[in-house]
Structure 1
Amino acid sequence: MTPLFGRRGRSSSASAAPPPRWVVVVPVKPSARAKSRLEVAGVGRSDLARAIALDTLAAASACELVAQVVVVTDDAALAREAAMIPALRFVPEGDAQGLDAAVAAGVAAIDPNGRMPRAALLGDLPALRPADLADALRAAASVPRGVVPDAEGTGSTLVTAGPGTAWESSFGDGSFARHVALGCTAIGITDASTLRRDVDTADQLDTARALGLGPRTAALVTSAHG
């Protein structure tokens, strides 16, 4: 008797759905107001903040599971310098007050009905590798809400919501505990993941440098160190 699906049958890998692709919202303050605690001798703070944001955006755009990166900012210079990065859409920050309002504005602009998987990514991850972001998004696809803690374990670098799940976030100091309280599942990624190394201080930038900085940030830091 001929098997129902023929000789080859129907393997689980052949019938498996491809992983979802995400909309990733990145809020970026104007560089003149960003990174007030990040002081690196020989490097202008606003230049460094913009380079960090651009390297983060480039890595997110290069991630295989990202369909589009939505940048919420009023920094016109950032928009000009990001012109060569694919898959970016810019949304003005406008009257939004704080990270959560900026993220909500980006989510509403691109997917107001919550039909796609959405994520908010902090824009201060200069060592971010696309594969590390993909690993986190792949794991986040199995939960309604997810959160990735920063390297210290108290903040959050990535927050996610699956299709049909209303968007909520609570970034800022101590945000990881608040995100868990909102129903986010902690996404299990390694301590060494570049997704966890956000940068607010020179010491944190040194740690990110050891992981491998993106090209824009690396060029500034290298020139400052001779």
Structure 2
Amino acid sequence: MNGDAGFAWHVVIPVKPPARGKSRLEAPGVDRAALADAIARDTVDAVARASRVAEVVVVTAASGWPEGLADSTPPPARARPSAPIRIVRESEPAGLNAAIRRGLATIDRVLPRAVLLGDLPALRPADLDAALALAGAARLGLVADAEGTGSTLITARAGTALVPAFGADSAAAHRAAGHVDLGVAQESTLRRDVDTVEQLRAAAALGLGSRTATLLG
């Protein structure tokens, strides 16, 4: 377990099969399924390299996980070993919140838990660490996306129930359920999720993960 036990977060990431992922993301000359897969894998790699993460739980019906999960960053460039990645299989995709609940059910409630969406290709581990440090002081925490309406991260301290409400206007839904905004900077890479080409361009300006960057050339 990494770091102080109070900050050793278990993070659930739902990942759709690439053929079903990112239906609104049509980058010219780039296969959408391959792009969705690259974005998800870059996100998982970044989360695993955050120092406050004890375990990453990927919930997916996609084939090819965990094969090929290792990041291409040379080991000397890494500050610490990556957290373990555990795969929870879905026989068929059952929806975003159902997948998240499936992953959360495999984690003891006495542990601090978080849910992060798998569409943050510019995510820097340090930005996630900063948010999780703030989450240690909140019973239920929230990071809204760059537009302010969606949620990219929700958290629950040890012993607190975590109920996902992702979908349209999820930030408002999570606030209504008791989540408080964690005060993450607006320019944080943790806020830049990607569903459209315009959002992908904004993420690229922050610096994309290696798989997504390579795919986009």
Q: TM-score, normalised by structure 2?
A: 0.90
The amino acid across from 1:36 in the alignment is: S
2:112 and 2:59 map into 1 onto residues whose CA distance is 18
1:13-40 deviation per Cα after TM superposition (whole angstroms, max 9, x unaligned): xxxx675110000000000100000001
Q: Do structure 1's residue 102 and structure 2's residue 109 form an aligned pair?
A: no
CA RMSD of aligned residues (A): 1.5
2:122 and 2:93 map into 1 onto residues whose CA distance is 28
Q: 1:214 aligns with which of 205, 209, 213?
A: 209
From the CA coordinates, give the structure whose radius of gyration is larger: 1
Q: 1:125 aligns with which of 113, 120, 124?
A: 120
Q: 1:193 aligns with which of 188, 200, 210?
A: 188
Q: Would you say the 8 A contact 1:96–1:105 is kept in 2?
A: no
Offset at residue 109 of structure 1 (A) = 1.2
Which aligned pairs between 1:22-41 and structure 2 lie closer than 5 A?
A: 22-41=9-28
Q: Which runs of 4+ in 1 moved over 4 A?
A: 83-86
Q: Would you say the 8 A contact 2:54–2:83 is kept in 1?
A: no
Q: 2:87 aligns with which of 74, 84, 90?
A: 90
Task: Tell which deviates more after alignment, 70-79 or 118-127.
Answer: 70-79
Change (3 A) 1:24 1:18: closer
Q: TM-score, normalised by structure 1?
A: 0.87
Change (3 A) 1:77 1:96: closer
Match of 2:37? 50
The amino acid across from 1:62 in the alignment is: R
| Unpaired runs of at least 5, structure 2 | 72-81
1:182-210 deviation per Cα after TM superposition (whole angstroms, max 9, x unaligned): 00011101110000000000000000000
1:160-191 deviation per Cα after TM superposition (whole angstroms, max 9, x unaligned): 11111012110011000000000001110111
1:148 and 1:76 map into 2 onto residues whose CA distance is 30
| Unpaired runs of at least 5, structure 1 | 1-16
1:72-131 deviation per Cα after TM superposition (whole angstroms, max 9, x unaligned): 0011124222256751000012356221111111111132xx111000000000000000
The amino acid across from 2:132 in the alignment is: L
* Paired residues, number: 204
Identity rate of aligned residues, in percent?
53
Higher relative helix content: 1
